[in-house]
Structure 1
Amino acid sequence: MVLKGKLKIIFFFVFCFLCLSLIILFPGTSADDLRKKHDDDLKQTLSKYKDDGGEEWKKFKDKPITISFWHNLEGTHLKDLQDFLKEFKEEYKNITVKTEFKGGWGQLIKNINVALPGNTEPHLIFSYPDYLINFYESGKLVPLNGFINHQNKEIQLEKSSDELSSNYFYPVFEDESQIKLGQEDKKWYSLPFFKTIELMFYNQTYFKKLQEKVKNNSDLKEKVAACFDQNEEGKLKNDITWEDLENLCSVIKSMDKNKIPIAYESESNLFIVASEQKGIPYAVDRNSDASNYGVKFNNLASQNMVKAFKERFYDQKYLTTKQLSGEIYPLTRFINQDFLMNISSSKAFEYLNKVDFEIGVTSCPYWKDGSKKALQQGANINLFYKQDKDEVLASWLLLKHLTSDKINKKLFDKKGSFPTRPSYVKNYLDTNKSKIASLKEDIKKSQENLNKPENDATQKRIINHKLLKEKLLLFILEEKQKEKKEQKSIYFFSPVFQKSYIARLVVEDLLIDCFLLPPNEKIDAKIQTLFNAAQKKALS
């Protein structure tokens, strides 16, 4: 049986080699030629639809068109998407959208990498910016500028209604969506859909009890005082530092040695975010051509940063990660109260609906010699070319709908998705000047309801989830308000460059390998050796 399995594997690789040989010996249309033909055909198609009241546009809106959309949404997120598609169908009755769930991000990218060479790719797909480089090299990635700036109002993308802004989206999302690929100028290749941020959830009930325990111990009380908001019991302050958390973790361990205070879901995010906060190079100049972009993390500052996390947090059992904890879903251990703080995507809110304790929300911690920075995450959507360019136009109309002010508002109110549109947040705050005060009042009422003795376990969980949603919305609004006041964004996106996805995997393994080194006097040399090997691997 083992031999038979090995023969199958050998046959598979021989088959792949023969296919590759045929491609090399008998090349078809190059990606550049294919791209140019698609671009020219699309321009010609769009030129027919300049007048939104013209005969050609009426013909388009009467033409039956079917498009496909690959995503990774499940549960209530999928139901929301289906509701959004129903709204789209009401406006464009001639367009049918077929959706396909393609698994998590890893499975989604595997599926599209198989589909592109076989011409079975969808019309639209969820993506991250670093996927676009490979999509571009297929010759099938659609630039969106022709749609965005079209003179037909039904086609063009509506700008922000904020008179102080010339943007369609917040600058951080526009920077992420507009990239320079190949020898071309910077262009739009995707639009932001369901955006999230990295933040920290924590067990506020536990911290209320902790404050009560230390209130008569002046040393311990002083040690943790810098971590907490003075206006609410158990609430961590918003601009918390790793130094503050180090003190808090030492007190937790002195009382509950089996607790792991902090779980950081993503090893690569820990590395990239901390580098950004400290101003340490991770990749070369952001203004560089994406094809010439590369890694630059092998430096003394990065090595010292990782060493500090290892010696001051991991070795002390203050911090673990997804891989190091051995948990597929570390959030489960947070729900079970084995972990007390969980640093992950704001999307995790959806999975915290069966919790028996009060959860707080705060920003990602940063080192005192750095600055507050948070990683912008979540799905963008891009389009692929098709033979019939009317199908590409139909795909754009769906993309425009899914990234509109209207849908953005629903995602924010229902899911706590991070707002992408400046006009929405401005109008939201201007027309709801008391919204922040109202949310604070709602939080206070929910906290009072939570403590009523007549509540059973189910009622407490319902109230807890409602309370967490209120806290998340308040956190996002206060962050945007502060950002607007200071005229400085704390959010950034992970750099996009050739093989940036590989670089993320490399630094993930690098962090784990460094953390697992046994403590000894040669730790600096061993970390340097690991960094040297990782840099070579990322550049190979």
Structure 2
Amino acid sequence: MSSQEKIKVVSRDKIKNFLFLFGYFLLLFNIAFIFNIIAIRKKNNLKEEPFQLTIDEFKDAKEYFKNSKKKVKITFWHNLYAEERKVLNKIIQDFEKDYPGIEVLEDNKGNWGQIFKHVSNALTVDKQPNLVVSYPDHVGFYHKSNKVLPLDAFIDKDEDFKNNKQNDFLPYYFAPIQIEDKIKHYYYLPFLKTTEIMFYNKDLLKSIHDKIPELINDKGEIAKDSLSWVQMDEISKILKDSNKKDFIPIVVDSESNLFIISTQQKGINYPLTKEQTQDFLHNSEVQELLQEFKTRYDNKHLTLGKLTGEEDKVPELLINNNIAFYITSTRRLDNLCIDNAFIPKLGYTNVPTVNSESNKNILQGSNVNLFYSKNKDEMLASWFFLKHLTSEDVYKDFLKENKFFNITRDNKKTENINIETIQKEQTEKNKEETEELKSLRKNFFKEFIVKNAEKSENNFFTTSIFENSDFFRNIISDLFIEVLTIDKDTNDKDVRIKELLTEAINRILTN
């Protein structure tokens, strides 16, 4: 082989080696690139990609959303009733006029249990909504996904929100909370807040006025701000003796709320941690409370909506004189106003008290929280809608349509909420309503909603959030039902109640 031929062979070998090395490094580059893309895509929560916001970004976003023809779409999941949903759609239309660069897609996901299930499932596959109505317990559970968006950055950068006195929320509605870490954050704003109330049938109470005039006046109205459970027992016995055999005076909508309210009124500390649930359920006073409600159930003085077999028809039972008292949410007022003939007979008062010195009541109803999105514009757009959704103007929109929710702002600001003026602005449909209904709604707002806002912070409470606090609430509900339905002829009910308490403790500690 000539020297020239040898040089050509060596050159070809060098080229082959070069191409091999080039191809090898190209392959490594592509593999690294692909893994990098995958890693970026996996940044689907706040732990992987913390949310950061500058003041300039915030100002630019606001300007963009107010002037852009290109829309950023955000989703809002809720559980509003049909009539409330109509109000929401108008609220969304008004918001989109102010922010043409944002489109809000609302979706009703059913009752509280259903919406919790929908959100929980969506979080596992990164299909969560941008905003959702929620309870604090729900937020505690959702937080495990690292996708609940703290509001601190928005609040810090939004000068309008910070400086607007209408955002002076009452402290028990708007406060930072601690979830699974040492830092407190704002996770939600209060939306349609409610509390428990006791509605009653004045006709039925009027019929027994002469037997208990110190508690019931001659119009069938309860003569006190609230009754004790001992007084309720007295009234229930008289009603039982005066009506047909299967008559049960009291129906309770939420057994967990009833139980939790009763423990708070009795001064029993609600758990702050999963470990404290054991001491809570082992407390002898908790067992005493359960025994008291078991006795009322056995005496056919009280039952639960879930145990009537007609949970959705309990309002009709009150309207048709089949029950005398209905302990439920203030949100139920509309359901009890469907029969004009019944409206003059409808009364309402605070929930009964375990301890006459304590009339504590639970704060409930929806907050709205935000979720993480890979699209930062969606998170910014969600904040602007959240701010609008929880504004005083939106509260008035619901009020105009006779949807009564708790006042969430400092009562000094509620002077702007004039029920007479608002009633004049109602639709033609509402103007056709009877004077009795208008009067009922006006008095309900003034005598219950406004007075609640004037009460001390000590009158209300919210349950704490801790690991599995949502599950603990379900356990309380199950426990209460299991205790009530212990066979009446069981010789030693106390022993069975203790067994059920132990089973409840084991469920929460092993979950």
Check whether TM > 0.5. Answer: yes
Alignment of 1:118-157 (within 5 A): 118-153=125-160, 156-157=161-162
Corresponding residue number in structure 2 for 1:208: 206
1:426 to 404, 412, 434: 412
Q: Structure 1 CA distance, aligned partners of 2:43 and 2:472?
A: 26
Counterpart of 1:38 in structure 2 is: 49
Q: 1:109 to 1:429 in 2, by over 3 A?
A: same
Q: Which whole-Å CA distance do the structure 1 matches of 2:288 and 2:40 have between them?
A: 49
Counterparts in 2 of 1:89-488, with a 5 A limit?
89-153=96-160, 156-160=161-165, 168-175=168-175, 178-211=176-209, 214=210, 220=211, 224-228=212-216, 233-257=220-244, 258-284=246-272, 294=277, 296-311=280-295, 313-329=296-312, 330-355=314-339, 356-357=341-342, 358-368=345-355, 371-412=358-399, 414-422=402-410, 425-429=411-415, 462-477=434-449, 479-480=451-452, 483=455, 487-488=456-457
- Over the matched positions of the two proteins, sequence identity in percent amounts to 30
Q: For each residue in 1:421-441, what CA deviation from the matched residue of structure 2 results, as whole angstroms up to 9, or x when unmatched? A: 11xx32434886xx8xx89xx
Letter of the 1:371 partner, please give it.
S
> Unpaired segments of 5 or more residues in structure 2?
1-37, 424-430
TM-score w.r.t. length of structure 2? 0.81
CA distances 1:71-121 after superposition (whole Å, capped 9, x unpaired): 111321001101111111111011111111111111111111121121111
Secondary structure of residue in 1 paired with 2:124: coil
| Counterparts in 2 of 1:49 and 1:33: CA distance versus 1, 3 Å | closer
User: Secondary structure at 1:116's aligned position in 2?
Assistant: helix
- Distance in 1 separating the partners of 2:461 and 2:129: 29
Contact 1:192 1:381 in 2 (8 A): yes
What is the CA-CA distance between 1:158 and the residue it aligns to? 4.8
- In the TM superposition, residue 494 of structure 1 has moved relative to its aligned partner by 2.7
The CA RMSD over aligned residues, in Å, is 3.0
Aligned residues of 2:407 and 2:453 also touching (Cα < 8 A): no
Q: 2:179 and 2:229 mapped to 1: Cα distance? A: 38
2:501 corresponds to 1:539? no
Does the 8 Å CA contact 1:236/1:360 hold for their aligned counterparts? no
Shift in alpha-carbon separation, 1:36–1:466, aligned structure 2, 3 A? same
Amino acid at match of 2:123: L
**Displacement after TM superposition at 1:349 (Å):** 0.9
- Per the TM alignment, residue 137 of structure 1 is displaced from its structure 2 partner at its CA by 1.6
Work out which of the residue numbers 68, 76, 100 in structure 2 matches 1:69.
Answer: 76
Secondary structure in structure 2 of the residue aligned to 1:69: strand
CA distance in 1, matches of 2:233, 2:109: 41
Change (3 A) 1:32 1:159: farther
Secondary structure of the residue aligned to 2:49 is: helix
| Letter of the 1:324 counterpart | L
SS at match of 1:381: strand
- Report the CA distance shift for 1:292/1:192 in structure 2 as closer, same or farther (over 3 A): farther
Partner SS state of residue 135, structure 1: helix
Deviation per residue, 1:404-446 (Å, 9 max, x gap):
1211233345311111111xx32434886xx8xx89xx9xxxx
Q: Residues 350, 111 of structure 1: CA spacing in aligned structure 2 closer, same or farther, 3 A cutoff?
A: same
Distance 2:506 2:452 in 1: 39
Q: For the residues of structure 2 that align with 1:148 and 1:336, how far apart are their CA atoms?
A: 49
Q: Secondary structure at the match of 2:281?
A: coil
Output the amino acid matched with 2:484. F
The more displaced of 191-200 and 500-509 is: 500-509
Q: Which amino acid aligns with 1:174?
A: F
Looking at structure 1, the residues matched to 417 and 450 of structure 2 have their Cα atoms a distance apart, in angstroms, of 16
TM-score, structure 1 length as denominator?
Answer: 0.77
Q: Greater CA deviation, 346-355 or 393-402?
A: 346-355
Paired AA for residue 286 in structure 2:
S
Q: What SS is found at the alignment partner of 2:192?
A: strand
- Correspondence 1:84 to 2:91: yes
| Structure-1 separation of matches of 2:275 and 2:291 | 30
**Aligned partner of residue 297 in structure 1, secondary structure:** helix
Equivalent residues of 2:180, 2:466 under 8 A apart: no
How far residue 282 of structure 1 moved from its aligned partner, in angstroms, is 3.5
Alpha-carbon shift at residue 33 of structure 1 (Å): 8.9
* Gap change, CA 1:305 and 1:107, over 3 Å in 2: same
Distance in 1, Cα, partners of 2:42 & 2:168: 30
Contact in 2 for aligned 1:169/1:420 (Cα 8 Å): yes
Shift of 1:393: 0.5
**Post-superposition CA distance 1:373-408 (Å, at most 9, x none):** 111111111111111211100000000001112112
Aligned residues: 455
- Do the aligned partners of 2:483 and 2:497 also contact (CA within 8 Å) in 1? yes
Residue equivalent to 2:7? none
Q: Is the 8 A contact 1:360 1:468 kept in 2?
A: no
1:376 and 1:57, CA in 2 relative to 1: closer, same or farther beyond 3 A?
A: closer
Contact 2:61 2:377 in 1 (8 A): no
* 240-249 vs 490-499, which moves further: 490-499
Q: Which runs of 5+ in 1 are unaligned?
A: 1-26, 162-166, 215-219, 443-458
Compared CA separation, residues 477 and 346, structure 1 to 2 (3 A):
closer
Range that drifts further, 262-271 or 494-503: 494-503
Per the TM alignment, residue 531 of structure 1 is displaced from its structure 2 partner at its CA by 1.1
SS of 1:193's equivalent in the other structure is strand
